Amino acid sequence: MRTSFNGSRSEPGAVAYARATVDLASRDVRIEDVPCRNLEDVLGGFGRSFQILAERTITHAFTPENPLIVNTGVLTASNVTTGLRTYFSAYSPLKVSNKGLPAAMWSAGSCKFGPKLKWTGLDEVILEGRADAPVYLVIRAGEQGPQISFEPAGDLLGLTCHEKIMWLKNRYADAHFAAIGPAGEHYEDCYMASVALSTENQLRSGDDKCRWAGRGGMGAIMGYKRVLAIVAQAPDKIAKLKPEIRDINKAVTSGPGSRKFREKDKGGLGGTWSNYEPLEKFHFVPQNNFRPAGDGKPELMFRDNVQPDFFVKAESCFRCGINCHKNVYEKNADGTRGAFLAKFDYEPVNLLSTNLGMHDPRKAAALIALVDRLGMDNISLGTTISYVMDYNERHPDAPILNGATFGDFDKARELVEGAGTGRFPEVGRGVKRLSESLGETGYAMHCKGLEFPAYQPDTNPGYPWAIAGGHMSMATYMAVALEGNTSLEYWATLITTRGLYFVRDDLLGLCKFAGVTGDHVVEALMQEAGIEVTTAELLAAVRRAFMRALWLERKQGYERSDYTLPSEVFDRPNPNLGVPPFVTREFFSELSDRVWAVFDPEIDEIATGVKA
Amino acid sequence: MPRIRFTNLFAERIGGVNSVDVPAATVESALRALTDRHPSLMPLVWRDGALNPVMVLFLNDRQLASAEIGTPVGPGDELDIVSAVEGG
């Protein structure tokens, strides 16, 4: 970014970001400094990309006019801990309105690709059109500024995400990589394809340890554009660490905000995998397609129960001291570390084991690793497979696909392979389309086309207002466990205030789960970018970005009827949950009235601004 | 006075403040003093009169069992209260 402050350090127009617009068909590349229009532009991420998407009229995700925007946040590549985010934004093939129009979507991933991209001299790359043959892009830091070249990608076709990355690593020194897998190459049949980002650990160890921009099918958009990978090659440009930032980093990595993600012997709770224990106290751990049985089986996947048979090592993204990656390895007979199996986070472990009726960590690891190799979103895939199994249990005389039912590992693996290679498009296109085609939508666990993460919809009436995934863009998914409050007033306030500010770090380039405080963000913006904003201004920008996303949904045909929950939440309350059922149709209708009463005027204001 | 530190989950309810110094002799009385001063934190800290079962306490980096809520605290002690459930 380039700044030209003249007195005030809070004027967006004095900030320009470096954008490359790449026409994949003509291979024209335009690099320019773009002045910021508002604070959202300055902060970056979806705050900027959604303004670009708002300028387009897109009726189908797989069309040349649908751009794939690869950008960073203002604190990506800064010295602030977790400042490692890259964002992929486009109109999604997966998230669609009931009218069939694709919705704007972003997905974020960490590790060193984002910093490397920024160190080439670019803040943002917009991929326009579609290449006439498979290519990969090489973005370099040249002497005269960033350079972009096209390379034939025939040798990459069919390789897994990890294989593509290692192939590129052997040809490009001092670089990091974004790549799609076979799922992205089969984009027409797999809308949930994701984008893999290389990690330092992966390049050093040779283990399949990518990070992911997983949600919303951004890998499918990349596949449609026939861009199999992006190389960001630049020397590291790490600025001298300022004492103010050193203090912030110390507070982040040793403070309460990151305790959940740190190891127990580092004063932490052991990562998201350890969500099993507190959630199971209330029988909130999804089982058999989000239908907890209260039978204690989720305990089989508790970390303390799994760990004795494996070697678990906490590892990290580039320069991050939190070590949130809980990587599971074989344990050798002498107790030493064996072969790498998979990274265990709560979401994939639950959705690819417990929620499929399986309680075996080895099988969970096998499925997680397979999903990663093929390059899919484990949330969307796991939740779609649990629907298939549920359907087949309900229709034993007329099962679909391979007849998979809960607990059948071999058939689950077959569905994963089939989704990622185009053989089972019914799965790869997600649970909304599958359930609609079968005429049984009541237990299809999604909102607005995006499958639920591993939190019960019966405990989260805030899901419909999440703008980019239920546990990434609306902080209501664990509220009942946290506070036990099921009143209308509480929920309306939560959704319209605290819940939506959860997307703050999706502009900034930080990891939202590290818990960087508001004061630290304001200080970091000043120290690292020379930008002076107040907490109130920052939150106002976040709120505008959120409202712009809701306006974009409206633009794509979303109506009030799209903002609902699967009907079985209302019609078939689960007596096993640790709270009395409270999400009735009456409750939800009243909640919707209250939420829209707050949001509608703000969305209208955004719409007025766009038209002006 | 001991200092209670907490995450954004708490801070966003009390104007962005991420730590509070409270006069207290035990962990429990420190938490009571916190919620007396900031009643909006009551539902996060307490459930049915006892410590919220989803919350975990760390005293000077050592995790406390819920039965240790009577542990003495004094000046310079740091008490963290964090949620045991987080996404990622």
Contact residues, chain B to chain A, C-beta under 8 Å = 5-9, 11-13, 16, 18, 43-44, 47, 52-54, 56, 58, 61-63, 80-88
Q: Contact A484/B47, CB-based, under 8 Å?
A: yes
What does the alpha-carbon distance between residue B19 and residue B79 come to, in Å, rounded to a whole number? 10
Residue of A265, A302, A452, A482 best to disrupt the B interface, most CBs of B under 10 A: A482
Q: Which pLDDT score is estimated for A174?
A: 97
Sign of CA dihedral A377, A383, A389, A392: negative
What is the rounded average pLDDT for all residues in chain A?
Answer: 97
The percentage of chain A sitting over the pLDDT mark of 70, rounded to a whole number, equals 100
**B21 by DSSP, 3-state: which?**
strand
Residue of A263, A269, A506, A542 best to disrupt the B interface, most CBs of B under 10 A: A269
What does the alpha-carbon distance between residue A195 and residue A181 come to, in Å, rounded to a whole number? 8
Among the listed residues A385, A353, A380, the one whose alpha carbon sits nearest the alpha carbon of residue A286: A353
Place of tokens 């000077």: B60
Report the chain B residue with the minimal C-alpha distance to residue A493: B13
Q: Please give the helix or strand (H or E) that residue B63 lies within, else none.
A: strand B62-64
Strand partners, A446: A451
Buried b (16+ CB within 10 A) or exposed e, A334-347: eeeeeebbbbbbbb
What does the alpha-carbon distance between residue A459 and residue B25 come to, in Å, rounded to a whole number? 37
For A542, residues 6+ apart whose C-beta sits below 8 A from its C-beta are A47, A500, A501, A503, A504, A507
User: Would the pLDDT of A611 be above 70?
Assistant: no
Q: Which pLDDT score is estimated for A5?
A: 79
Q: Which pLDDT score is estimated for A155?
A: 98
The percentage of chain B sitting over the pLDDT mark of 90, rounded to a whole number, equals 93
What does the alpha-carbon distance between residue A416 and residue A376 come to, in Å, rounded to a whole number? 9
Q: Which pLDDT score is estimated for A582?
A: 98
Out of A278, A498, A518, whose CB is closest to B85? A278
Chain B residues with CB-CB distance to A517 below 8 A: 8, 11, 16, 18
Q: Which pLDDT score is estimated for A612?
A: 64
Distances, alpha carbon A444 to alpha carbons A102, A354, A409, A417, A605, in Å? 19, 17, 21, 21, 34
Contact residues, chain A to chain B, C-beta under 8 Å = 255-257, 259-261, 264, 267, 269, 271-272, 274-275, 277-279, 281, 324, 345-347, 453, 455, 471-472, 477-478, 481-485, 498, 501, 513, 515, 517-519, 535
Give pLDDT tens digits for A275-325.
Answer: 999 999 999 999 999 999 999 999 999 999 999 999 999 999 999 989 999
Q: Which pLDDT score is estimated for A289?
A: 98
**A51 by DSSP, 3-state: which?**
helix
| Residue ranges with strand state E in A198-296 | 211-213, 227-233
Chain A residues with CB-CB distance to B43 below 8 A: 483-485
Out of A257, A275, A279, whose CB is closest to B7? A257
Out of A260, A345, A513, whose CB is closest to B82? A260
User: Would the pLDDT of A154 be above 90?
Assistant: yes
Longest dimension (CA), chain A: 74
Q: Which pLDDT score is estimated for A610?
A: 73
Give pLDDT tens digits for A347-358.
Answer: 999 999 999 999
Q: Which pLDDT score is estimated for A54?
A: 97
Q: Contact B63/A267, CB-based, under 8 Å?
A: yes
Q: Contact B43/A485, CB-based, under 8 Å?
A: yes
Chain A residues with CB-CB distance to B35 below 8 A: none
Chain A residues with CB-CB distance to B86 below 8 A: 260-261, 272, 275, 478, 513
Among the listed residues A428, A586, A438, A561, the one whose alpha carbon sits nearest the alpha carbon of residue A98: A561
Pick A2-233's CATH classification: 3.40.120.10, 3.60.9.10, 3.10.20.600, 3.40.50.300.
3.60.9.10
Q: Please give the helix or strand (H or E) that residue A541 lies within, else none.
A: helix A535-555
Q: Contact A513/B88, CB-based, under 8 Å?
A: yes
Residue of A517, A534, A543 best to disrupt the B interface, most CBs of B under 10 A: A517
Report the chain B residue with the minimal C-alpha distance to residue A454: B87
A564 half-sphere exposure, CB direction, 13 A CA radius: 20
What does the alpha-carbon distance between residue B30 and residue A291 come to, in Å, rounded to a whole number? 39
Chain A residues with CB-CB distance to B80 below 8 A: 255-256, 259
ipTM of this predicted complex?
Answer: 0.95
What does the alpha-carbon distance between residue A153 and residue A377 come to, in Å, rounded to a whole number? 23
Q: Which pLDDT score is estimated for A379?
A: 98
* Shortest alpha-carbon distance between residue A252 and chain B (Å): 10
All structural domains of chain A with their residue ranges: 2-233
Q: Contact B53/A281, CB-based, under 8 Å?
A: yes
CATH of domain B3-83: 3.10.20.30
What does the alpha-carbon distance between residue A270 and residue A597 come to, in Å, rounded to a whole number? 41
Q: Which pLDDT score is estimated for A609?
A: 82
All structural domains of chain B with their residue ranges: 3-83
* Shortest alpha-carbon distance between residue A25 and chain B (Å): 37
Whether the CB-CB separation of A29 and A20 falls below 8 Å is answered with: yes
Sign of CA dihedral A430, A436, A438, A444: positive
User: Would the pLDDT of A385 be above 70?
Assistant: yes
